[in-house]
Amino acid sequence: MRFRTSLAKKASLAAVAGLALAGCGEIKNTITPQPGTANNVTVALPGQPSAFDIGIYEAAALGYFKQADMNVHVVIPGRGQDPVTMVHDGQVLLGVSSEPNVLLHRNENQPVVGVGAIVHGPLSAITIAIPKAGSSGGVGVTTTATTTTTTRTKRTRKPVTHTGTATTTTVTKTTTLPTSTTISEPDATLWPAQLQQLLGKPGAPTYDGLVLVARKGSIVQHAPLIRRFVQQVARGYRAARANPSGAITNLINAVPSLAPQRPLESAILTSAMPYFFPPGGKVWGWQRESQWNAFGTWLAQNHLLSNPNAVGDASTNELLQGQGV
């Protein structure tokens, strides 16, 4: 999908940009919005926060959103809520969902668009390597059980007496979590059962496991705002790549309930990093139109899409760094 600008306007903008760069060198703008003046952005996650969402939380923790004049509010959908439906209905400006979910909603005449890929490939294809117990940051659960045994002693030649002797035994058991696990798409429960079965078979085409989603009308009306959000999230993921431990700390500071599973979140981040930044990617978030088309065609061939407008222009890279105008 492309939102076109006239060549004359492009030339004018390029000229102005050239003069600015020529006169000032590299430009670094830091915007600190006054209270109540920043643009409010709401984004719905597909489930409870995790290291897959690290870029959003890192951008907030490092002040990237404030620098871009935004107040970002994360929304966790309630039972039965779907982030793509929330985007379509205008409850939130942006959502995080999967490519299959986007296409299924477009099949229902909901004009939603993928504006940036977070995870390139199915989440179920990512093997999370969990550290062994006892290693640095390892995962282990220690339990202690106490048992009491009473021994009775019988003496002869005298009236029989019973003396009780209590013996306490402490047993310590360490349970180690599996060395690896896999994650399924958080919105897979919303997919038709037939789709879940087909994706589990050999030969199923790949798709983006997590994407940022916006309504087509919102892109037209609020392109600069959405562009700023997407590009600051990209900065957040790059910051997490540069300092994974610090990013996990920032995530847990924002979501304290994740503290007990810090080793797992760290393992998720490590395992997911190649899927955040796949080899050969042009910029963070780049979506391959050919891959979307191939996956959509496969869905149609398997009678999961019937709307001819579901696949075309289902994704756009216009809002990514260095793209569009």
pLDDT given for residue 13 in this prediction: 37
Q: CATH code for 30-125+183-301?
A: 3.40.190.10
Where helices occur in the chain by DSSP H, the ranges are 7-24, 54-61, 64-67, 83-88, 99-106, 193-199, 216-242, 244-254, 262-276, 289-301
pLDDT given for residue 175 in this prediction: 37
Q: Strand 94-97 relative to strand 210-215: parallel, antiparallel, unpaired?
A: antiparallel
Total residues found in the chain within this entry: 325
Which residues make beta-bridge pairs with 71?
A: 40
Q: Which of 124, 122, 89, 310 is nearest to 211 (CA)?
A: 122
Q: What is the mean pLDDT of the chain?
A: 80
pLDDT given for residue 178 in this prediction: 53
For residue 144, pLDDT over 90 is answered with no
Asked if residue 64 lies in contact with residue 28, where contact means CB atoms within 8 angstroms, the answer is: no
Q: Strand 39-44 relative to strand 94-97: parallel, antiparallel, unpaired?
A: parallel
- Structure confidence by residue, pLDDT tens digits, 222-241: 999 999 999 999 999 999 99
For residue 274, pLDDT over 60 is answered with yes
- Structure confidence by residue, pLDDT tens digits, 145-197: 333 333 444 444 444 333 444 444 444 333 344 566 777 777 888 899 999 89
Question: What does the DSSP assignment read for 111-170?
Answer: -EEEEEEEESS-GGG-EEEPPPTTSTT--EEEEEEEEEEEEEE--SSS----EEEEEEEE
- Structure confidence by residue, pLDDT tens digits, 33-65: 555 667 999 999 999 999 999 999 999 999 999
Task: List the structure tokens of 137.
Answer: 């940051």
Return d(Cα 171, Cα 106) in angstroms, integer.
58
pLDDT-wise least confident of 16-25, 49-58, 208-217? 16-25
* Banded model confidence at residue 213, pLDDT cuts 50, 70, 90: very high
Task: Select the more confidently predicted residue: 272 or 162.
Answer: 272
Expressed in angstroms, the distance from the first to the final Cα of the chain is: 14
Spans of all domains in the chain: 30-125+183-301
- Structure confidence by residue, pLDDT tens digits, 52-108: 999 999 999 999 999 999 999 999 998 888 999 999 999 999 999 999 999 999 999
pLDDT-wise least confident of 6-10, 213-217, 282-286, 314-318? 6-10
Helix axes 262-276, 216-242, angle to 10 degrees: 110
